[in-house]
Amino acid sequence: MASDQSREFKIIGTRPIRPDGVEKVTGRARYGADYALPGMLHGKVLRSPYAHARIKSIDVERARRLPGVKAIVTGADFPEVKGVMAQVGELIVNTHYLSLNVMAREKALYDGHAVAAVAAVSKHVAEEALELIEVDYEPLPPVMTAEEAMRPDAPVLLDELRTRLMAHRTDPGSPEGPDRPSNVPGHIRFERGDLAAGFAAADFVVEREFTTAAVHQGYIEPQNALAVYGADGHLTIYCSTQGAFNVRTLTASVLAIPEGGIRVVPAEIGGGFGGKTTIYLEPVAALLSKISGRPVKMVMNRAEVLRATGPTSGIKARVKIGAKRDGKITAAEVWLAYEAGAFPGSPFAPGAMCTLAPYAIENLRIDSFDVVVNRPKVAAYRAPGSPASAFACECVLDELAEQCRIDPVEFRMRNAAHEGTPMPAGPPFKKIGFAETLEAVRRSAHYRTPLGGPYRGRGVASGFWFNGGLQSSATVNIHSDGSVSVVTGSVDIGGTRAAQAMIVAEALGVAVEDVRPVVGDTDSIGHTDVTGGSRTALATGMAVLEAAQDAIAQLTVRAAKLWDKKPNEVKFDGGVFRSLADDGQMITLRQLAGRLARTGGPVVGRATVNAGAVGAVGNAFATVCVDVEVDPDTGKVRILQATIAQDVGRALHPDYVEGQLQGAVAQGVGWALNEEYFYDQKGALRNFGLLDYRMPTCLDLPMIGTILVEVPNPNHPLGVRGVGEVGIVPPMAAVANAIYHAVGVRMFELPMSPSRLLRRMLENRRMAVEEQASAAG
Amino acid sequence: MANKVIVEININGDPVELLCEPRQSLLEVLRDVLELTGSKEGCLTGDCGACTVVIDGRPVCSCLMLGVEAAGKNVATVEGLASGMSLHVLQQKFLEHASLQCGICTPGVLMSAKALLDRNPNPTEAEIRYALAGNLCRCTGYDKIVRAVTDAAAALAGRTHPAHGTVPSETASGMAGEMLAKGEAK
């Protein structure tokens, strides 16, 4: 599929060494915590030990008297921020709640909620000062799960919340139900066809209930921010973020100052996966800097990351799907409740829009709810919302395939969405490559090789994610020696500099080594949305290509000028400008670059794009096949083999595309098997370290096979779809289905940790023994 | 306040005399006192391995050791891995295999891998995975990391005098391999 189409490219599809590679293997790359400025102070945050408590008073006087303490802030130092629903990149943010999350005011709403912060001459002094701050709390009963929070008699987290029914993701919604406080601020419903008739037509109906645990993005680099408030009122922030412009907009809203007064310099970023699309420390460091008059650096420790930064939602799901004997799905009814954490804004809408999106289903109803609980406010995490709801539905599909006695890949193929199939939310798909991912798995050596041995099983599942469009800017500078620099606003979180350099090199016909990609700050490049939503290679790649084309157009004018011709009499191809007349005039880009001064001055190509709303471009699908072996004595699951086939549209740099797929599967395996938060009865987090919040290690995983399916995206000049997220959607169900085929136990709860699986296996064995006994008796 | 102590450490082959507080970890000393920020802080509890350095041939989480405890020892950090303009073969292979995405775990992974290859020049995949099990990487799924280490070992085997940096390697006899053999015999 791929090879024929990629022949038209010289550089795209190859695997050059990334331009920022040497800095990153030698320890020279500067991440957020590596920045230091003269006279810098260190800030630390005091966090609530209560999951739900009224803050009656905060006394900072003893802390203030500690030598070395230079500034202290509490909620009283922050301006009141009115609730505005701001679309910030792919996020919809309520600025009022963002402000309350950055620093608690009347109430602490989760264990770890910031209540005060100190800046001191060292982090040790700052930590000592935190212990001297006296907070008088009135503890309130915590509400820890969506199920509890939805009960009519549940304690209310935020008095002003009412349930609102939304028609689509960005709709503010209209009131639903009685006008009384609610922990369920959002409800979205997608409905089509006739459910009752659909289920009546089914030969088999499977109805199940699922629970998934909240999981953390697990980036290895904790959040950080270094803020410098100048005497001129200008604020500069250095931080690790997925979007410098996001940080600027959000910080301005929390501090109630103009965006133009803030410059955000994005550092190298040590992982994000969505978790670094919002802000935590930035406004706090800024206020501490304003009070002290000195630069203030704040770096979270791991416990703070786990207690207070966004995980993704745990969910409760009820799924009912019917199918005919031939495997055709006749109806599906899905109910989803997403834990948002302490403030509204879970990915409940995308969760509803993505589940079952891979399938053509005529009769469908999906309800999804946003539910506040006394946990940290969730943040985006790789295909936000889709993995949990897909887990539920893809497990039910496996049961149906078994009842229909149809191979699980074939079952999905018979129901697969194609171009023109309506998505759950209504609009039809453009050209997509879902069926191609199924076919790729079916043809893989992995799937064609039977899996033998006791306690071993194979599972398959699929998933969908929109992929982002949004805004990007790029400039392409032609230097006098023919080298090129390309500046974008997209932070490089996984090799996107390489992709951008390759696009520019391809367009200009120069060597990729001659293109230097640069990540600009908010003052040096036009607005660019987050590195997230699988949008960087896609949308910023579009901007970079157009900027290169703009440079070519300008260079064409210069070549024409040299030869005293009109620009339309000059043609550019493969790095060479040629006269269309029969005079043999030609000049290479490199030669022409040396003559820019004499032909009118420097050439800077520029482009800005709005690549459309999230979901409007680049839809991506993946199918995952996993083999597992279950230890019958402990319930521990070992992953024997894993293969992912994903429609990537076009792989710009296949190594980094494969890397995205492999990383997504690895995170999915952690979500499936180990990762969860343990809260005690009082709502305090007990596993706030990486020993007990157990992410997959090198020993937990096999090599991860990747199949890059290339069905070019018709909405992109290079066919790119974006690749970062969808790979995390299928693995949880694939593992669950594999466990069933290994030991005959259907798992309805994530993670499928050894203790949970062992309990279910023992129940199964006991039931089998009882059945035998009663049969014998 | 006069509670700082003078500590002498050999860092990347150079004798270094420094002043630190007894409560400062080796990681803090490296990063904040010596400005060697290549070693990263991911957890401060020895669980992520981003701060791994090699001390007298053994990989160590520098966040779990006090700076004063490193007195008199040979400490190798990622900054000393390349020699001059030549990258260490592990660094080169990490680039060739695209073994890093965000790169924050890379310094620690490289140092653990170096300690492995110094004591076991021809590791199996299982031995590599065992040796790197203390280094969390959230981006890659480890696939391309394991491939790079395997390839680096092969490249080193093709050389007569492997360039292994400045810290003398310990001659321990493949402890990781022995433990794995037991585990697999189960």
Provide the Cα torsion B7, B12, B15, B19; round to 10°.
Answer: -30
Q: How far is A174 from chain B (nearest CA, A)?
A: 40
B chain contacts of residue A18, beta-carbon cutoff 8 Å: 95, 98
CA-closest candidate to residue A300, choices A84, A481, A126, A500: A126
Instruction: For residue A237, give both structure tokens.
Output: 């922030």
User: Bridge partners of A578?
Assistant: A571, A586
CA distance B125 to chain A (A): 10
What pLDDT, on the 0 to 100 scale, is given for residue A739?
Answer: 98
The two tokens of residue A554 are 């300008």
* Residue A582 confidence (pLDDT): 80
Coil, strand or helix at A408: helix
Domain residue spans of chain A:
2-28+469-610, 430-464+618-777
| Strands of the sheet with A235-239, listed across from one edge | A69-74, A114-120, A41-47, A296-299, A224-229, A235-239, A262-266
pLDDT of res. A611: 86
Q: Is B150's Cβ below 8 Å from some Cβ in A?
A: no
Is residue A675 within 8 A of residue B29, CB to CB? The reply is no
Q: Is the pTM of this model over 0.90?
A: yes
pLDDT of res. A2: 41
Query: Could you list the active site residues of A?
Result: 725
CB atoms within 10 A of CB A178: 8
Residues of B whose CB is below 8 A from A268: 102-103
DSSP A312-353: EPPEEEEEEEEE-TTS-EEEEEEEEEEEEESSS--THHHHHH
Average pLDDT value for residue range A607-613: 88
8 Å CB contact between A607 and A547 = yes
A672 shares contact with chain B (CB less than 8 Å):
no
Asked if A27 and B36 come within 8 Å (Cβ–Cβ), the reply is yes
What pLDDT digit, counting tens, does each position of A626-657 carry? Answer: 999 999 999 999 999 999 999 999 999 999 99
Choose among B87, B129, B136: nearest Cβ to A25.
B87
Flag whether residue B140 sits within 8 Å of chain A, measured between CB atoms.
yes
What confidence tier does A613 reach under pLDDT thresholds 50, 70, 90?
confident
Q: Which of A220, A691, A696 sits opposite B104 (nearest CB)?
A: A220
Question: Cα separation of B146 and B128, whole Å?
Answer: 7
Q: Does B133 touch chain A (CB under 8 A)?
A: yes
| CB-CB neighbors (< 8 A) of A36 in chain B | 35
Q: Provide the pLDDT for residue B184.
A: 33
Of A18, A27, A667, the CB nearest to B78: A27
> Which residue is associated with the tokens 């935190």?
A130
- Sign for the CA dihedral angle at A120, A686, A351, A654 comes to positive
Residue A4's pLDDT band, with cuts at 50, 70 and 90, is very low
Query: Are the C-beta atoms of A215 and A379 separated by less than 8 Å?
Result: no
Please tell me if the domain spanning A2-28+469-610 has the same topology as the one spanning A430-464+618-777: yes
For residues A625 and A547, give the distance between their C-alpha atoms in angstroms, rounded to a whole number. 40
Residue A615: the pLDDT is 64
Q: How many residues does chain B have?
A: 186
* A703 contact residues in B (CB cutoff 8 A): 143, 146-147
Tokens of A725: 């997220």
Q: Which residues pair with A461 in a beta bridge?
A: A624
**DSSP-assigned letters across all residues of B117-141:** HHH-SS--HHHHHHHTTTS--SSS-
More confident residue, A489 or A615: A489
* pLDDT band, very low/low/confident/very high, at A759 (cuts 50, 70, 90): very high
Pick A269's closest partner by Cβ from B79, B102, B141.
B102
Residue A302 to residue B45, Cβ atoms within 8 A: yes
Place of tokens 């459910």: A195
Residue A177: Cβ within 10 Å count: 12
CB contact under 8 A, A299 and B41: yes
Architecture label for domain A430-464+618-777: 2-Layer Sandwich (3.30)
* Closest CB from A220, A268, A665 relative to B141: A665
Half-sphere exposure of residue A336, counting CA atoms within 13 Å on the CB side?
A: 40
Residue A76 has pLDDT above 70, yes or no: yes
Q: Please write the tens of the pLDDT for every residue from A195-209.
A: 999 999 999 999 999
CB contact under 8 A, A703 and B143: yes
Tell me the mean pLDDT in the region A503-531.
Answer: 97
Contact A135, A63 (CB under 8 A): no
| β-sheet bridge partners, residue B25 | B66
Tens-place pLDDT, residues A705-758: 999 999 999 989 999 999 999 999 999 999 999 999 999 999 999 999 999 999
Q: Which residue of A has its CA nearest to B142?
A: A698
Cα A772 to chain center, whole Å? 49
Distance separating alpha carbons of residues A255 and A251, to the nearest angstrom: 6
Per the CB < 8 A criterion, the answer to whether A455 and A526 are in contact is: no
Beta-carbon separation of B98 and A270 below 8 A: no
How far is residue B4's CA from residue B23's CA, in Å, rounded to a whole number? Answer: 9
> ∠A532-A537-A540 over CA atoms, to 5°?
85
CB-based contact A18 B95, cutoff 8 Å: yes
Closest among B150, B155, B158 to B132, alpha carbons compared: B150
Contact B102 A218 (CB under 8 A): no
Between chains, do B42 and A220 touch, taking CB under 8 Å as contact?
yes
**Domains in chain B, please, with CATH?**
5-80 (3.10.20.30), 89-178 (1.10.150.120)
Instruction: For residues A722 and A466, give the distance between their C-alpha atoms in angstroms, rounded to a whole number.
Output: 9
Query: How would you classify the pairing of strands A164-166 and A186-192?
Result: parallel
Task: Specify whether the CB–CB gap between A545 and A507 falls below 8 A.
Answer: yes
Which pLDDT belongs to residue A65? 98
Low-confidence ranges of chain B (pLDDT < 50): 160-186
Q: Does domain A2-28+469-610 have CATH number 3.30.365.10?
A: yes
> In this predicted complex, what is the ipTM?
0.97
Distance CA A268, CA A285 (A): 19
Q: Give A85's pLDDT tier (boundaries 50, 70, 90).
A: confident
